């Protein structure tokens, strides 16, 4: 999204190159994040990404792939991410029950719950995207979609990705606080996710706004600024909690990790 733009003469000639580079760095780091999350989860018999953002990410990538994106390279990236998400979904179904021993009904039905969440997010995101595209929301001179000046899909990507980021950062912080251990994560995973978001979301859209402000005023919308700062604070808080839980967590014989001092059954009922 965005390669079909025709910026006015005053915009930097490096507008597209820098934007694509920032987005590319973010994309590579997130691809690595998904892979490392899956590998860590398999090693430690748990799941890394909380259910709500996992469902959101899976649905978002599917809607972008099959409904919004029009460029082949974007479709290839979304396809890759869906395949990697499938690994994260597998770890939820395979090992999720270990994290829900306090709620047996949920533990026995995690797969169904996750499927329902993906379906709901898919419905919600399709509704938003359909409304946006059919009503030419954000239409601006020089921004094209499907060959004509129309809806601004770059702005659509901004708002939907920003919501996804908030859900991921806040839910991840809540998850590690509740678990009290680092199961499914690591400093490397946190670094890839944090830096990837800084480049692909904050950095990319900051550059687009700086180079072509009249087409990207939404970046400095007060609500957008609130969300852009909130996810950064949540991720920095996550790092602090990660450092602390690693000091006290206990590694079980099968590789799982639990909160220090916690009595834990060897098997899930």
Instruction: State pLDDT tens for residues 94-113.
Output: 999 999 999 999 999 999 99
Closest by CA to 1, choosing from 118, 150, 221, is: 150
The confidence band for 263, taking pLDDT boundaries of 50, 70 and 90, is low
Size (the chain), residues:
269
Nearest to 176 by CA among 232, 257, 245: 245
How many Cα atoms occupy the beta-carbon half-sphere of 119 within 13 Å? 6
Alpha carbons within 13 A on the beta-carbon side of 234? 21
Q: Kindly tell me the burial class for residue 112, based on how many C-beta atoms sit within 10 Å of its own C-beta (0-12, 13-18, 19 or more).
A: exposed
Instruction: Locate 70 and state its tokens.
Output: 């029009």
The answer to whether the CB of 207 falls within 8 A of the CB of 22 is yes
Question: What is the reported pLDDT for 4?
Answer: 73
pLDDT in tens, 15-47: 999 999 999 999 999 999 999 999 999 999 999
3-state secondary structure of 103: coil
- CA–CA gap between residue 94 and residue 85 (Å, rounded): 14
Cα Rg of the chain, angstroms: 20
Give me 194's structure tokens: 């944090």
pTM for the whole structure: 0.92
Average pLDDT, the chain: 93
- CA 184 distance to own-chain centroid: 16
How far apart CA 148 and CA 144 sit, in angstroms, is 5
**Looking at residue 2, what is its pLDDT?**
57
Beta strands in 46-195 (DSSP E): 144-145, 148-149
- Res 268: pLDDT: 46
Mean pLDDT of the 77-95 span = 96
């Amino acid at each position: 999204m965005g390669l079909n733009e025709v910026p006015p003469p005053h915009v930097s000639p490096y507008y597209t190159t820098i934007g694509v580079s920032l987005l590319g760095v973010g994309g590579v780091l997130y691809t690595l994040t998904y892979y490392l999350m899956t590998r860590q989860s398999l090693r430690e018999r748990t799941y890394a990404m909380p259910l709500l953002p996992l469902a959101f990410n899976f649905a978002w990538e599917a809607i972008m792939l099959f409904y919004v994106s029009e460029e082949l390279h974007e479709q290839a990236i979304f396809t890759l991410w869906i395949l990697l998400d499938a690994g994260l979904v597998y770890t939820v179904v395979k090992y999720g029950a270990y994290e829900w021993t306090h709620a047996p009904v949920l533990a026995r039905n995690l797969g169904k719950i996750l499927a329902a969440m993906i379906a709901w997010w898919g419905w919600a995101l399709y509704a938003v995207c359909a409304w946006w595209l059919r009503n030419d929301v954000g239409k601006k001179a020089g921004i094209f979609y499907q060959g004509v000046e129309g809806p601004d899909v770059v702005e659509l990507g901004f708002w939907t990705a920003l919501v996804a980021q908030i859900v991921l950062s806040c839910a991840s912080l809540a998850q590690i606080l509740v678990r009290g251990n680092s199961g499914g994560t690591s400093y490397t995973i946190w670094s890839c996710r944090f830096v990837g978001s800084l480049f692909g979301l904050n950095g990319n859209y900051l550059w687009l706004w700086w180079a072509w402000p009249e087409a990207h005023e939404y970046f400095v919308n007060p609500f957008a600024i609130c969300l852009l700062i909130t996810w950064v604070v949540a991720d920095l808080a996550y790092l602090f909690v990660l450092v602390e839980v690693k000091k006290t967590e206990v590694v079980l014989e099968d590789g799982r990790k639990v909160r220090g001092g916690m009595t834990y059954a060897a098997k899930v009922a």
